[in-house]
Amino acid sequence: MKILIVDDAVTNRLVLSAYLKKDGYTVVVAENGLEAIDVFQAEDPDLILMDIMMPVMDGYEATKKIKSMTLDKFTPIIFLTAMTDEKSLSQCVEVGGDDFLTKPYNRTILKAKIDALERVSQLYNTVYQQKRELIAHREQEAKEHEVARKVFDSILNPGCLSADNIQLHLSPMSLFNGDVVLAAVKPTGGLHILFGDFTGHGLAASLGALPVSDVFYSMTAKGYSISDVVREINRKLKRQLPTGMFLAACLVEIDTNNMILKYWNGAIPGAFLHKMHSVIELKSKNLPLGILADSSFSDKVDITEIHDKDKIVLTTDGILEAENSSGKMFGLDRFKKCLTEEGGFDLFQHILDTLDAYTQEQKQTDDVTLGVINCDINYINQIASQKGAYKKFVPSHWKFDLHFFYDSIKSLDPVPLINQIMGEIQGHQIQQDKLSIVLTELFCNSLDHGLLGLDSNIKSTPEGFMQFYTERESRLNELESGSICISVSNVPNETGGELTIVFEDSGKGFDVNKILQSDNLSIAEDGAIKFSGRGLSLIKNYCHSVTYNDSGNRVECVYSWSNIDT
C-alpha cells in the first residue's frame, strides 16, 4: 500500500515516514497542498495523510482538488491536525476528508485508522469495478437487444402491416413483445391476418413468434387456407414450445373473391366485425395453439359476409385487463361499448382515447395491442397486385412424369414434391386433403406391395401392425433394384379440372380381383373392422374411376378438383 504524507514540517514527515515504513508501507511525501496534487498525479497513492495548515495551498483546498480528480476511485484522506474544535473538524468532512488524526500522533491509532480505511477502500473499489462491469454489460445487452429487435422486425413484418387499411397499436411492456401480429396477401387476392398473445412477456414470449411467422408467411404465399395454416402452426408449437407456453390467437381471412370473412379463434376475447349498424363478435370456440395434439385439434373455420366499409377489430387481453387508479379493469363490456357508440369518429383512435381516459396513465401490466382492419376489397386486391402476390390460376392443360429408382425411394417421399409441382402450375386450389390422401395411398401400395412384396394380411390384427412396419423398414433398407413411375395430367373444365394419376411399379403386382371383390374393403364379413385394404377403399371413394392392369402393378385414377374456394 502506497501512502502520501503531506506536511510542511520536516519533523512530522520524518516521524510518520518511519512509522509507516516500519509497518511495511511505501511512502511518498509532499511539503504543501500544491505539491501534493502533483505527487498524487504522478504516484497514484492508495491513501493520503493531509496536514491542514500549510503554505502555498492548505489541506482543505488540496483535498477538494484531489477528490474532484478521483471520481472513479476511492482514495481515503486522513487529516492531520492539532485543532480539536467542532468547526475545524466539521470542515474536514465537508471538503471530502474521510477521517482525522490529532497531533501528537499515536502509532497504534494511526495504524488502526489506516487499516480501517484500507478495508473501506477495497470495498468501494470492488463495488465500483462491479458497477463498471454492470454498466458495460447493460450497454452490450442493449446493443444485442437492438440487433435482435431489428432481426425480429425483419422476420415478423415482411407482410403488409403497413398497408393503409390496417391501423395498428403495439405497446409492449419491454423491448420484446409477447403479442404477435402478422398480415400477408394471398396469391389469389385477399388477406390473411394473425393476431396472437403468447403466455408471458419479453424475449422468452417473443421467441415463439419466429416459428409462427415462418409458417404463416410461407403457407399464405403458397395459397393455403387459414385452416391449413392454423393446423400447421399448432403442430409446430406443440412440438417446439415448452410445457405451459402457448399462443392465444385469432386468424382471419378476408376473401375478396367471395366477399366473406373466414375466421378461427382460439382464446382471443376481443375479436369483432364492426359493421355499419351492428357488431358481430368473432367468438372463440377453440383452445390456444400449442396445447392440443394434431389428432385432437380442430381447424374448422366460421364464415360471415362482409362489405367494403366493414372493419375487423382485434385486441389482446392487455387492453381488456388494463386497470384504472382503483384497480378495476377496462373489461370486455366497456370495449364493446366503444364499438357501438355513434359520433362519426375514427374507431381506432376512439378506442385508444377511451382507454387512456380510463387508465389515466396507470402503469402498464401487460402487452397492449389493438388492430383495426378495413375490409376495402379493391384496396386489398390492389396491394396484392403491388406486392406481386396476386395471381389468378386458370385451369389449363398440363402433364408431368416422374421416375423414381430404388435408391431415391429410400430417402424421398414423392407426395410433397408432386403437391408442390401441381401448386406451382395450377395454384393452391388443387392442393386438397383428399388428393393428398389418394397420392399417399397410391405411393404406399406401389412401394409396399409392388417393390417390397409385403402382404397386407400381416396387419389383420393390431399386433400385426408392428410386425408389418418392422418388416417394411428392413426390406426397404435392403432394396437394391426397382422403380416407380408416376404420371399426372390435367384436363380443365368449367370449375377446375380432371386429374389422371398413374402409378406404375416394377414389382410383381398382386391379385387385383381378389382385393377388389368386396365393395366395402374396410369391413370384414363378420362386421368387424379390418386393419388392411382400407387404403384402396379410400382411393375408390375419392376418385371417379380406378383402373388396374391385370398384374396389379399399374393403377390409373381419375380425380376431379375445383378452383372454387369453399
368-390 confidence digits (pLDDT tens):
899 999 999 888 878 766 655 44
Between CA 527 and CA 531 the distance in angstroms is: 13
Q: Which of 269-283, 291-305, 385-399 has the lowest mean pLDDT?
A: 385-399
- Residues sharing a CB contact under 8 Å with residue 484, sequence separation 6 or more, in sequence order: 403, 404, 409, 414, 443, 446, 447, 450, 451, 503, 504, 505, 506
Query: If residue 548 lies in a helix (H) or strand (E), which one and from where to where?
Result: strand 545-548
How many Cβ atoms from other residues are within 10 Å of residue 140's Cβ?
10
Closest CA to 314 of 376, 255, 370, 253: 370
* Type of residue numbered 72: D
Residue 412 has a pLDDT of 82
Let me know if 90 is exposed, middle or buried by CB neighbors in 10 A (0-12, 13-18, 19+): exposed
**Cβ neighbours of residue 145 closer than 8 Å, sequence gap 6 or more:** 175, 176
Contact 67, 98 (CB under 8 A): no
Q: CA-to-CA distance for 75 and 98, rounded, in angstroms?
A: 9
Residue 345: C-alpha distances to residues 179, 263, 342, 350 (Å):
27, 27, 8, 7
At 150, the pLDDT band (50, 70, 90 cuts) reads low
If one compares 116 and 188, the residue with the highest pLDDT of the two is 116
122 versus 72: which is more confidently predicted?
A: 122
Average the pLDDT over 404-425 and give the result.
Answer: 85
Q: Within 157-246, where are the H helices?
A: 202-207, 209-221, 226-240
Average the pLDDT over 253-257 and give the result: 86
The amino acid present at 156, given as its one-letter code, is: L
Sketch out the chain's domains with CATH numbers: 2-127 (3.40.50.2300), 157-386 (3.60.40.10), 398-562 (3.30.565.10)
Higher pLDDT, 93 or 6: 6
Task: Give buried/exposed letters for 269-287 (b at 16+ CB in 10 A, else e).
Answer: bbbbbbbeeeeeebebebb
Cβ(510)–Cβ(449) below 8 Å: yes
pLDDT-derived band at 392, boundaries 50, 70, 90: low
* Neighbour-count burial of 372, counting CB atoms closer than 10 A to its CB (0-12 exposed, 13-18 middle, 19+ buried): buried
Average pLDDT estimate for 281-307: 93
pTM of the model: 0.56
What pLDDT, on the 0 to 100 scale, is given for residue 237?
93
Helix axes 433-445, 414-426, angle to 10 degrees: 140
Mean pLDDT in the chain? 85
Q: Across residues 446-472, what is the average pLDDT?
A: 79
pLDDT tens digit sequence for 498-547: 999 999 999 987 776 766 554 444 434 444 434 345 567 778 888 999 99
* pLDDT the model gives residue 543: 93
- Mean pLDDT, range 231-242, rounded to an integer: 92
User: Could you report the per-residue pLDDT of 189-202, keeping only the tens digit for each?
Assistant: 789 999 999 987 66
Lowest mean pLDDT among 143-147, 224-228, 231-235, 343-347: 143-147
Tell me, what's the pLDDT at 566?
42
pLDDT bin (cut points 50, 70, 90) of residue 129 is confident
* 179 vs 201: CA distance, rounded Å: 8
